[in-house]
Structure 1
Amino acid sequence: MPPRLSKFSISATCIDYVHPWTNSCVSATAGLGLHALQESLRIYTTVYLVTLLMKGRIPSKDDIRRTVLGVLQSTAFLSWSAFSYSIFLCLLRRISGNFNILTVSFLPSFLSNLAAIVIERPSRRTLLCLYVSNIATETVFRAGVWRGYFSVIPRGEVYIFAASIAMMLYYFRSEKNQQDSIFKILQFVIGPYERYNCSEIRREPHTLAPKSLQKRRITNKSNNQIFNACHSGLAVYKHVIERLKAWHKHLSCPHPFSCAHYVISGGTKLFGIGIGVQLAIKLVLQWKKIFGRPKIAKQIIFRRENLYLGMFIGGFTGIYRMLSCGLRRAFGKDSRYYAIPAGIAASVAFTMYPDNTIALYVMWKALQILWNSGVATGKLPEVKWFIIVLYCFSTAILFHAAIIEPQNLRSSYWKFLHNLSGGRIATMARKPLDEFGLGTSASLAEVLRKTQTTDQISYSF
């Protein structure tokens, strides 16, 4: 039988549930706020410094000033969210006289995030909303499966990704205003020649360069065999590429050179980039192990799973371009509607790197683009504060799950809450919440074991 809620309210006090380590609500709130302030400052200092370094230039005084102000503003947002969460927990209990299924976490979290998100920069609110909505969607699905309301669909993330990416690619080929960052990512993956009004792109010449420029004589031949072998290999490579470029290209295709070159060059380029990114992530995350045991670097590098990301994005690019060119040849013209079947077919490559986070992010981004397009054309109303309300609602779902049913929360988000609260999210007593009939304390014990976190922490206040 799926677990069912047996009670709506419980008679526990703040000391019984919220802060069993101290009798003072003020002391507990201050302790959580101070720790969250330190952790938030550490997180956002790292985030903003990495963003500053990724610009690839020496930062100016204005860059440094904006970075410092951004760190302080984002730190205030996140730390106030944690601080006010504790305030609303105890305050709502004092007002109502008890805790119920909504006031143990959901409602305090909604109010605290509503008070905090207005502090954060407006330009970051949409990004934060997409992030928490992504995880909240997965959490709600897990909760439904846990309750037996529905079952897991095999390869469900692939279907979500296919439908969502096809919609985004259609808008990529249709929308004139492409200011959203997701369109820059799509242009990087499938190329600039598939975007809206790609005829504005300055095309490269379709004819090959004169042979006098293609082949250069080497007057001084080296006796070095390695040099000669490399030079011969390079000459063969150039010859193959030149022959490939010279193949037939349909008149409706907007890209330079042949369709074969367009498909192969795009796929291999993204394949290489995917492998490079995957290796970089693995090496960065395991640098401590490599520093202690340099010999394991070879084992980390030469693993089959390091190919999966490259196979996904390289395969996606190659299949999408191949289908797009094939449809242009078949119908004798170009059309933005080709993005839909080409995007769905290319999503087969996602089976090489299936990831819930990617699939749900693409889904929410596609819904955002669809809504914005509807608002721009007057077909849908513009709802003010929608992003803020959705952010608060999604975050409230995550905090509710962390308290009532932590087994349905993504492990990485549980660890984030554990670090942000200094372990207080785990130390909050769950025994009183077992009265709801959802087995909360047993679920917490399982999550602590799985994530290697602990609830055995003592606090001075």
Structure 2
Amino acid sequence: MTNALSRFLTPVACTCKDFTHPWTDSCANASAGVLLAAIPYSLRIYTMVYALSLLMRHRIPRLGDLKRNLHGIIQSTAFLVSNGYTFILFNCLLRRLIGHYVCATVAFVPSFISSYASILIERPARRPLLALYMANLATESIWNMAEVRGYVRSIPQGQTLIFGVSISALLYLYRLGLHKTTCKDSLFNVLRFFVDKREEGPVVAKAGCEGAATATATATEASVSAASTSSSANTQRSRSPLDFRSINVLVQIYSRFLDAVKSRHPSCPHRDNCWHYALMGGLRPFVGGIGLQLALRLIMNFKKIMQFKLDVRKTIFNKDTLNLGIFLGWFSFLYKGVSCTLRHSFGRDDPRFAIPAGLLASTAFTKYPDVTVALYVMWKALQ
């Protein structure tokens, strides 16, 4: 421990010119140069971010929306620019105050002060998002370092497992309705787009789900013939909860799956039949994902487009462009399809259905296995 501490405080024979700004001898000129170079880059990034946020609202922006977004672009740009140039500023300042570098002042201390000072410039609503984004990068970096040193070992499709468990937890909270009270977060607005607003909790037991067949049979018994009564009783038995102790349970599940395809259970929150609900629910995210991927590719290659140097077939029209759309569409389709099947099978709606539905739907993540997305959802679930 003493040896490690002594190494941590051992002076480093290096100047800030050699380490931080080899292009100039002046620390002030280096900080000012990074400041000027970071402005257009940061402005371009946040203009794209806020423009996409406007598009995600699916309505024509009003004058007030444009003013708020312009203010947000300027404020977020100031945050990112200050985070860049103040690192050099505090790095050089600490070396001059101490007289030399130590292990802590080479990067950790100046970057901590720089990040803390710059995030105070950003809007308070965006600070948790930035903190979680950096937690993603830190988690991934630490894992990669540990894996290189042989301390841990990655498993195939591990990011899909992380995503599946995390998104299932978030969907369970969504179906409980806690996203409206104790678990408010902007991520649930994104989930609402993919799993539908009608799946939103809290789940309310509807008249006509369990016990509806009994009430119908009782009312019919007083007004119709014995044949109608028998038919109602058969309907009641077909909608009763599944008996998993019976070997016929698989036949019952298959029969109710066919019912889900052809009809709508009273506990389902949608009006169309379940097959139409799941299919159309998956089609919209599929088209939206492809459109978003195309838009990002066009924006990232804007310079090449203006110079007529873009290979359209290679850059845009390839199978990778479909991956995001396939993931989003397949995820939505599976989640809604499994949820409807469970409602038909058990004869009721239940927030716990979000867990198996979310786990099965997360298999679509194999088409877009992004580690950053998986870690972001994980940290959101933990938050």
Given the two structures, how large is their TM-score scaled by the length of structure 1? 0.61
**CA-atom RMSD, angstroms?**
3.3
Matched with 1:338 is 353
Whether the 8 Å contact between 1:199 and 1:254 is mirrored in structure 2 is: no
**3-state SS of 2:105 partner:** coil
Deviates more, 1:73-82 or 1:133-142: 73-82
Aligned partners of 1:18 and 1:38: how far apart in 2? 21
Q: How does 1:55-454 map to 2 (within 5 A)?
A: 56-57=59-60, 59-60=62-63, 62-63=64-65, 65-178=67-180, 179-197=184-202, 247-286=262-301, 296-298=311-313, 302-368=317-383
Shift of 1:149: 2.1
2:188 alignment partner AA: F
- Unmatched tracts of structure 2, length 5 or more: 207-258
Contact 1:73 1:121 in 2 (8 A): yes
* CA deviation string 1:11-65 (max 9, x = no partner): 22323323333333333333333433454445445545665677654653x5555
Contact map agreement 1:279 1:306 (CA 8 A) in 2: yes
Tell whether the 8 Å contact from 1:144 to 1:150 is kept in structure 2 after alignment. Answer: yes
Q: Once the 2 structures are TM-superposed, how far is the Cα of residue 108 of structure 1 from its aligned partner?
A: 0.6
Deviation of 1:275 (Å): 2.9
- Secondary structure, counterpart of 1:252 in structure 2: coil
Q: 1:68, CA displacement in angstroms?
A: 4.5
Given candidates 28, 34, 40, the residue that maps to 1:26 is: 28
Deviations 1:371-397 (A, max 9, x none): xxxxxxxxxxxxxxxxxxxxxxxxxxx
Q: Offset at 1:187?
A: 1.5
Distance 1:67 1:197 in 2: 33
Separation in structure 2 between the aligned mates of residue 318 and residue 245 of structure 1, nearest angstrom:
14
Amino acid at match of 1:345: L
Distance 1:141 1:355 in 2: 15
Work out the number of aligned pairs and report it.
322
Q: Is the 8 A contact 1:84 1:112 kept in 2?
A: yes
Deviation at 1:189, TM superposition (A): 0.8
CA contact (8 A) 1:192 1:198 kept: no
Contact 1:246 1:257 in 2 (8 A): no
Alignment partners' CA distance in 2, 1:31 and 1:89: 15
Residue 272 of structure 1 deviates from its aligned partner by 2.9
Alpha-carbon distance in structure 1 between the residues aligned to 2:293 and 2:341? 31
SS in 2 for 1:150: coil
For residues 293 and 69 of structure 1, what CA distance do their matches in structure 2 show? 33
Q: Distance in 1 between matches of 2:320 and 2:72?
A: 37
* Residues in 2 aligned to 1:253 and 1:358: alpha-carbon distance in whole angstroms: 30
For residue 148 of structure 2, what is the amino acid of its counterpart? W
